[in-house]
């Protein structure tokens, strides 16, 4: 980072494998820099104070609420946003595929944060139980789905990666949801 005035700095951010050099106010949040200065509007802003999880990105593989991180703090780290999960012409990431397949979204506002949270969860726990998925997504608020389909989607994503038991759990969660609907 090079400070060229008291309030601005030129920083280099690595996002989805690409480097971006931008001159920004030092107090500007990572979420705003991603959206306004880099043009990656897939990162959504809901509460803007760390509660809803809509702005979740991965920084060096770990989930972070980009509304609570200054962009200057992220310099030198690898940032992954929802746009980095799959190139526009490439097949969907398994987690995206699972959310489509299991109807893990409605309006889609929470979805980018949910997807990145799920990616991090499955990196840490490749074959999670339903309870672990519930705990894992507990910090991301969804106003539409009632969460059941999201849980089914994350379990299904695990099964796509593993091919096995998680697929059966996902079926059970889906069946339970259908039964209670």
* Other Cβ atoms closer than 10 A to 45: 17
Tokens linked to 34: 């991603």
Q: Which residue, 6 or 104, is less far from ligand FES as judged by CB? A: 104
To ligand FES, the closest distance from the beta carbon of 126 in angstroms equals 25
**Cβ atoms 79, 140 nearer than 8 A:** no
Give the DSSP letter of residue 70.
Answer: B
To ligand FES, the closest distance from the beta carbon of 165 in angstroms equals 27
Q: Which residue, 50 or 61, is less far from ligand FES as judged by CB? A: 50
To ligand FES, the closest distance from the beta carbon of 113 in angstroms equals 8
Q: Which residue, 11 or 52, is less far from ligand FES as judged by CB? A: 52
β-strand 8-15 against 2-3: which pairing, if any?
antiparallel
β-strand 8-15 against 78-80: which pairing, if any?
parallel
Q: Which residue, 104 or 128, is less far from ligand FES as judged by CB? A: 104
Q: Which residue, 68 or 167, is less far from ligand FES as judged by CB? A: 68
**Cβ atoms 157, 122 nearer than 8 A:** yes
To ligand FES, the closest distance from the beta carbon of 15 in angstroms equals 17
* Other Cβ atoms closer than 10 A to 113: 28
To ligand FES, the closest distance from the beta carbon of 148 in angstroms equals 12
Distance of alpha carbon 130 from its chain centroid, rounded?
Answer: 19
Tokens linked to 83: 């746009």
Contacts with ligand FES by CB under 6 A lie at 45-48, 50-55, 65, 67, 105-110, 142-145
């Amino acid at each position: 980072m090079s400070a060229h005035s008291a309030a601005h700095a030129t920083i280099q951010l690595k996002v989805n494998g690409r480097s971006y050099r931008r001159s920004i106010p030092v107090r500007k949040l990572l979420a705003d820099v991603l959206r306004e200065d880099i043009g990656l509007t897939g990162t959504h802003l809901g509460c803007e104070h760390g509660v809803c999880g809509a702005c979740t990105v991965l920084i060096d593989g770990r989930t972070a609420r980009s509304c609570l991180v200054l962009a200057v703090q992220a310099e030198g780290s690898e940032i992954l946003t929802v746009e980095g999960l799959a190139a526009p012409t490439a097949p969907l990431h398994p987690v995206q595929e699972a959310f489509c397949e299991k109807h893990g979204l409605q309006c889609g506002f929470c979805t980018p944060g949910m997807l990145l949270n799920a990616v991090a969860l499955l990196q840490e726990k490749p074959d999670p139980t339903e309870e672990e998925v519930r705990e894992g997504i507990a910090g991301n608020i969804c106003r539409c789905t009632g969460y059941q389909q999201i849980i089914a989607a994350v379990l299904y994503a695990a099964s796509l990666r593993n091919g096995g038991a998680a697929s059966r759990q996902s079926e059970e969660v889906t069946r339970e949801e259908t039964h209670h609907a």
